[in-house]
């Protein structure tokens, strides 16, 4: 069960949603700030709305805050609010990357919601705001994690850990989600070339501790960071 921090926000009026068959992902945009549910509640009230339009807010440290009650019709995706739940991931993902904690907890929250409502965890039912209307929300860097199947892959894993493995490169890595990789030698084979390239280029330096080969021995990388690095590498970001 996902831990949700209750915020006890006051709403002027709410109505109940009768259908729930889709989850829509958003970001803050404009500024890469760690917006809280209470803060967004204030912004949306200021626009004359009942209160915060999203049902959940995921802070940069991964904390999941309650926004609008889950049973209520939200105000986050024009024309699509009557059948959707809105998740806001705090930050501007046109310029920043979602944190590992945000990605992980977003997937876990999606798994929880989809399990309770019987929603299939696939790209037809888990969408970015910009897939429903013309907007750059939830930002290129978060949308990419939807498009390459990372978020739905992880959500499927959380919904059914014994049956489904997270994603391609991590098929044998399901039990390594909390492991830290400190040296080149400890990095899984599929990520080795990328990490070596990043070390060679001085993009990854560690804290100063070296192994016998003169490479950093305190990289402190998580499996999720490795996945993102490999995706970035494929996109040519480190060339
Ligand atoms: Zn949005």
Cα(29) to centroid of ligand 1, in Å?
Answer: 8
Distance 210 CA to ligand 1 centre (A): 44
SS (H, E, C) 157-168: HHHCCCCCCCCH
pLDDT in tens, 34-72: 999 999 999 999 999 999 999 999 999 999 999 999 999
φ, ψ of residue 82 to 5 degrees: the values are -70, -15
Specify whether the CB–CB gap between 62 and 102 falls below 8 A: yes
pTM over 0.85: no
How many Å lie between the centroid of ligand 1 and the Cα of residue 76?
A: 6
Distance 136 CA to ligand 1 centre (A): 8
- For 154-189, the pLDDT digits (tens) are 999 999 877 654 454 444 445 556 778 888 888 888
* Average pLDDT rounded to a whole number, residues 10-31: 96
For residue 128, the CA-to-ligand 1 centroid distance in Å is 8
Q: Vertex 25, ends 22 and 26: CA angle to 5°?
A: 140
For ligand 1, the distance from its centroid to the CA atom of residue 146, given in whole angstroms, is 14
Q: What are phi and psi of 26, to 5 degrees?
A: -130, 165
CA 92 – ligand 1 centroid, Å:
11
Residues of the chain with CATH 3.40.80.10: 22-159
112: CA distance to ligand 1 center in Å?
21
Q: What CATH code would you report for 22-159?
A: 3.40.80.10
Task: Answer with the residue of higher pLDDT: 54 or 220.
Answer: 54
pLDDT in the model for residue 172: 46
Rounded to 10°, the helix 140-147/150-159 angle is 60
Mean pLDDT of 119-143: 96
């Amino acid at each position: 069960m996902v831990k949700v921090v209750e915020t006890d926000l006051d709403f002027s009026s709410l109505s109940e949603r009768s259908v729930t068959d889709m989850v829509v992902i958003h970001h803050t945009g404009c500024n890469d700030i760690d917006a809280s549910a209470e803060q967004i509640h204030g912004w949306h009230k200021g626009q004359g709305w009942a209160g915060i339009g999203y049902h959940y807010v995921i802070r940069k440290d991964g904390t999941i805050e309650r926004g609008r009650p889950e049973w209520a019709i939200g105000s986050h995706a024009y024309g699509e609010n009557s059948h959707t739940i809105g998740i806001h991931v705090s930050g501007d993902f046109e310029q920043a990357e979602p944190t590992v904690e945000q990605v992980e907890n977003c997937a876990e929250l999606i798994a929880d919601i989809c399990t309770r409502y019987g929603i299939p965890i696939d790209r037809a039912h888990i969408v970015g705001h910009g897939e429903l209307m013309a907007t750059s929300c939830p930002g290129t860097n978060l949308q990419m994690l939807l498009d390459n199947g990372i978020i739905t892959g992880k959500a499927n894993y959380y919904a059914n850990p014994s049956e489904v493995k997270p994603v391609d490169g991590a098929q044998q890595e399901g039990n390594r989600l909390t492991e830290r990789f400190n040296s080149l030698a400890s990095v899984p084979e599929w990520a080795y070339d990328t990490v070596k390239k990043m070390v060679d280029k001085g993009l990854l330096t560690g804290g100063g501790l070296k192994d016998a080969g003169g490479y950093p021995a305190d990289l402190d990388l998580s499996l999720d960071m490795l996945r993102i690095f490999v995706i970035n590498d494929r996109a040519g970001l480190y060339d």
